[in-house]
Amino acid sequence: MQSKRINRNFTYSPKLKLQAVKRYLNGQSCSSICEQLKIQDPKRIYVWTKAYQDKGELAFIDQRGKQATGRPKTKFMSLEEEVEYLRAQNLLLKKVHREKKGVLTKQAEFEFIHEYSKDFSLSVLFKLTSVSRAGYYKWKKSHSTPQVNRDEELYRLILDVFNESNRTYGVKRIKQALLNQYGWIVNHKCIRRIMHKYHLVCVLPKPKFKRRPQPHWEYL
C-alpha cells in the first residue's frame, strides 16, 4: 500500500493553525485534528504548538506585518487601524501567557473582546480572535446584565443623591452628582426615566422673600 504523498509547500491560514493548536492542547489527537481540518502532515501541529507556546498568536504573524504563510495579512483601512491592531494584539498575548496551557478558550476570547470593546474597535478584536461578529453578539445577549438589575442599582444611587439634596435636585444636578460622587456617566434621559419609574419628584424650595421695610412717616 502506497503512503499518501505530503505536499510540503502547502500553506495554511493562521486561523486554521490556531484552531489546530487549541484542539491539540485540549487533548485531541493529531490524527483526528488532521482529518477534521484537512492537514496533510501531523508533524506541523507539533511545530505550530511549540511556536504558539513561545510567542502566542504572534508566532503566526511575522514582524513585517505578513502572515507566516507569506500571504498578505489582514488588510487595514489606515495606519491608525494597524497601530490599534498591534496594541490589542499585545494585550491578547499577555492574556494568553497568563493562561495555564497558554491557550485561550472560546469563553476567554468572548471576555477579552467584551473587556476591551470600549478601547478598540470590534472589527479589530474580531480579527485577533476566532470569534465571529454574530457569535459575539449572541454571547453578549446571553451574558448581559438584565435591565431590571441595572435600573435597581442606578435607582439606589439616584435615591442617595436625591435624599442628600433634601429632594431638591432635578435631573441635571443628579447627573452631575452621579459623575462627581460615583464616577457614573448617565444620560439625562435615563435619569428622568428612573425618577419617573420610582416616582421621585423633586420639591422646589420655598423662595425666601425679604420683608420689605415699611415706610416711616414722620408727622410734623
- Domain range for residue 31? 11-71
- Residue 17's pLDDT band (boundaries 50, 70, 90)? confident
Query: Which own/partner pairs from 177-186 qualify as long-range (CB within 8 Å, at least 24 positions apart)?
Result: 182/157, 184/154, 184/157, 186/154
Query: What pLDDT shows up at residue 65?
Result: 43
Region 149-160: mean pLDDT is 83
3 state DSSP class of 153: helix
Q: How far apart are the first and last CA of the chain?
A: 140
All three cell numbers of 184: 457614573
Which of 67, 85, 64 shows the shortest CA–CA distance to 18? Answer: 67
Give the Cα separation of 131 and 143 in Å (integer).
16
**pLDDT at 213 exceeding the cut of 60:** yes
pLDDT at 210: 61
Domain's final residue, options 71, 86, 120: 71
**pLDDT for the residue numbered 172:** 92
User: Is the Cβ–Cβ distance between 205 and 168 less than 8 Å?
Assistant: yes
Is 217 a domain residue?
Answer: no
Question: CA 110, CA 113: separation in Å to the nearest integer?
Answer: 5
Q: Cα Rg for the chain, rounded, in angstroms?
A: 30
Strand, coil or helix: 67: strand
- Please check whether residues 107 and 81 belong to one and the same domain: yes
Residue-wise DSSP of 1-61 = -PPPPP-TT----HHHHHHHHHHHHTT--HHHHHHHHT-S-THHHHHHHHHHHHHGGGGGB
Whether 125 and 169 map to the same domain: the answer is no
Q: Which residue has the higher pLDDT, 59 or 148?
A: 59
Do residues 84 and 123 both lie within one domain? yes
Alpha helices in 38-170 (DSSP H): 43-55, 79-98, 106-115, 122-128, 133-143, 147-164
Q: Cell 470600549 sits at which residue?
A: 118
Of 95, 101, 89, 28, residue with least CA distance to 60 = 89
Q: Is residue 43 part of a domain?
A: yes
pLDDT tens for each residue of 37-74: 888 888 888 888 877 776 676 677 643 344 444 344 55
How confident is the model at residue 6, as a pLDDT? 52
Q: What's the pLDDT score for residue 103?
A: 65
Residue at 206 is within a domain: no
Q: Which of 50, 71, 92 is the last residue of a domain?
A: 71
CB contact at 8 A, 103 and 52: yes
- Of 28, 45, 71, the residue at which a domain comes to its end is 71
Count of the separate structural domains present in the chain = 3
CA distance 169 to 103: 51
The answer on 186 and 127 residing in a single domain is no
